[in-house]
Structures are given as C-alpha cells and as structure tokens.
Amino acid sequence: MRVLLIGANGYIGRFVADRLLADPAVQLTALGRGDDADVRFDLSTGSPGALTRFLDAVHPGVVVNCAGATRGGARELARHNTVAVATVCEALRRSGCGARLVQIGCSSEYGPSQPGSSTAEDAVPRPGGPYGVSKLAATELVLGSGLDAVVLRVFSPAGPGTPAGSPLGRLAEAMRRAMQSGDGELRLGGLGVQRDFVDVRDVARAVHAASLSAAQGVINIGSGRAVRLRDAAATLARVAGYGGALHELDAPPGALRPAIGHPRAESVGHRVESLLHQRTESLGLHRPDSPGHRGDHRADAEHAAPVAHPYPDGCGGWQQADVRTARDRLGWRPRINLEESLADIWMEAACRI
C-alpha cells in the first residue's frame, strides 16, 4: 500500500510516520515544507494542479494529512488549516489515483461541552475560537468533497514530543525550573479545566487503522475520560519526584491544593526518577537532593511565573470524547494511560536540567 503522508515533521505526523514505517506492507512518501521531506511542497501556497501532478506520478492508495497550524492569527490559521485542506481535496478530485483521505481534525471543532457529558460525532459543532473554526471548515470541506475520506477528531494529545508551549508541556517546564532552582512551590493558573488526554502513539495507531479501513465521516479519537488539569499536575509531580506546594492562582476559596506528589512515591514516577538520576550522574550533572534544596543558582521569585489560562482552545471547562465509533468502526481502543504519557513528557523535560 502506497501512503502519502503530509505533515510528517509535526507533533502527530512524526508518530504517524513511525507507525506506518513499521508496517512492512506500507510504502511511505513524506510531503512537506521541510528539507527532510521526500518531496517539498507547501499546501498553504501550492496550487492544486501541482499537487495533482504529483499524485498522478506517485499514485498513492491513501493520503494522510497531519499538516496544519495550532497558533497564529485567524488569517494564518485559515491559510494553513482550511485553504491547505481545500488544496488537498481539489487535487484528489482532479487526480486519477483514487486515493483515500485520512484527515486529522481536532476536538476544538466541537467547542464547549456540558460538564459530565461525552461528546459524540453527531454533536453540533460550536467552536469557540479561530483555531476550532479553521479546523471545522477543513472538516466540512473533506466531508463535502465526495472523496473516500475520514476525519479523525483528536482530543488532547499527550506523550513524548509534547510541544513545550502546550499546557502539559508548560506544566513540565515549570516543574523542571522549580526543581532545578530548589523552589518549594509552584504558582499556576487554569488547573480547573478538564480535558480528554490521549497518547500521541495511540493517535498514530488510530491513523494506521483508519488508513486500512473503509470507515467514512467523523470519528473521535480520545481516551473517553476527562481529567482535571490539576490532577494531571499532581501525577506529573509524582512522576517527577517533586514534593513542593502547588498554588492555584484562580482557585475558588478553600480549593487550594498546597502539596502535590511525593518524592519517594512507588510508581512509574519513582522508576523514572531513578533512571534520570543515573543519567545525570553519568553525565556529571548536578540535581537537587530534595525539593527543598536551595542552591547557589536560585533564580528570583519571578522565575515561577504563573501558567495562566493554559487552555485557550475555546472549549470551556470540560471535554470528554465518546469513543464508541472508533471502537466499532476502526477496532481501536487507547492503550497508553496518562501516567505513562506524563512520564515521557517529564523524561524529556528533565533531560534539560
């Protein structure tokens, strides 16, 4: 099976590429803007005609589109998330390759959900920001294209490679800074939101399954369980061995959680901490012996700047996926739990200590 992967250098695209390359039946070609792509092509500026000629030459059976932008103004988001998908759809319509399209969508297309509810694919989308609007417009283009196509609406991806600017990435970086400087407290905001985290490697498995299936329409990809960011922070602290205090800047009265984690918790976190200790010792690096350590390199108090409102995704305080369609139509279920995803996020952050 010939697969054309667009956006192989992105967060999700890298893991999709690894998953597809592990399948001996797949012949993978990567198309993108970077120098390491097999073929360089910018969807946001390239013409459908040029892409059509390439499709006719390669003749893929499946096109997977992981390309897009998550940040920027409305015009930039529309160009990278909507216009680019219009180019893909038009090129596929013109081409004689007859390829199936697997498009990566996102949960921001749904917008806010009722607390306690699970969002199914038939929910009426009400995106709360320009990113969600641009992705929803792309989904509508795919669904209305007449192509053999499926859109995977990915909820909140986590795990290795998590961008440092993402909410979980910022949490890990703030904790790394606190541990490196010996700070006994973190001041954070926006920890009351609840999101459905799904490991990026499980997302890649879903893309692989969708490439092989005949499923069409929209399919949610998530864990099916909403987790409060405050609880994710507590798990991350346990994984990191951080026993300091967490101060929530926007918590209601009486809702402060002054202590999270324990440096000697017997869990995945304890094992990861041991591995990190061995790694830093072998490299001749120094790490604080305890969360309360006060080294000579302690930064000013301003270093623990608040992580305010870490979820500007327009989805309100709650999101949880109904993942029954993925189970029934793709035979897919998430396998990697959040603690393992957070352990991998922390491993990467800790290597910067």
Neighbours of 294 (CB within 10 A): 12
pLDDT in tens, the chain (353 residues): 999 999 999 999 999 999 999 999 999 999 988 878 898 898 989 999 999 999 999 999 999 999 999 999 999 999 999 999 999 999 999 999 999 999 999 999 999 999 999 999 999 999 999 999 999 999 999 999 999 999 999 999 999 999 988 999 999 999 999 999 999 898 888 899 999 999 999 999 999 999 999 999 999 999 999 999 999 999 999 999 998 888 888 665 555 444 444 433 343 344 444 544 444 444 344 444 433 343 343 334 344 444 444 456 889 999 999 999 999 999 999 999 999 999 999 999 988 76
Structure tokens at 6: 């667009």
SS (H, E, C) the chain: CEEEEECCCCHHHHHHHHHHHCCCCCEEEEEECCCCCCEECCCCCCCHHHHHHHHHHHCCCEEEECCCCCCCCHHHHHHHHHHHHHHHHHHHHHCCCCCEEEEEEEHHHCCCCCCCCCECCCCCCCCCCHHHHHHHHHHHHHHCCCCCEEEEEECEEECCCCCCCCHHHHHHHHHHHHHHHCCCEEEECCCCCEEEEEEHHHHHHHHHHHHHCCCCEEEEECCCCEEEHHHHHHHHHHHHCCCCEEEECCCCCCCCCCCCCCCCCCCHHHHHHHHHHHHHHHCCCCCCCCCCCCCCCCCCHHHCCCECCCCCCCCCCECCECCHHHHHHHCCCCCCCHHHHHHHHHHHHHCCC
Structure tokens at 118: 């699970």
**How confident is the model over 55-114, as pLDDT tens digits?**
999 999 999 999 999 999 999 999 999 999 999 999 999 999 999 999 999 999 999 999
Neighbours of 331 (CB within 10 A): 11
Residue located via tokens 């417009």: 137
| Angstrom distances, CA of residue 171 to CA of 56, 191, 241, 265, 305 | 46, 10, 14, 19, 11
User: Is the separation of the CB atoms in 239 and 272 below 8 Å?
Assistant: yes
Structure tokens at 332: 């897919």
Query: What is the distance, to the nearest Å, from the Cα of residue 351 to the centroid of all Cα atoms in its chain?
Result: 20
| Angstrom distances, CA of residue 59 to CA of 25, 55, 87, 92, 142 | 16, 5, 17, 11, 20
CB within 8 A of 304, min separation 6: which ones? Answer: 174, 177, 178, 183, 185, 186, 187
Give the neighbor-by-neighbor strand order of the sheet with 27-32: 39-40, 27-32, 2-6, 62-65, 100-106, 149-154, 217-221
Helix axes 338-350, 268-282, angle to 10 degrees: 20
User: Is the separation of the CB atoms in 188 and 3 below 8 Å?
Assistant: no
What length is written for the chain? 353
What's the alpha-carbon Rg for the chain, to the nearest Å? 21
Structure tokens at 177: 């800074």
Structure tokens at 142: 């795919």
CB within 8 A of 124, min separation 6: which ones? Answer: none
Q: Rounded CA gap, 145 and 212, in Å?
A: 20
**How confident is the model over 188-205, as pLDDT tens digits?**
888 999 999 999 999 999
Residue 297 confidence (pLDDT): 37
Structure tokens at 68: 């897009």
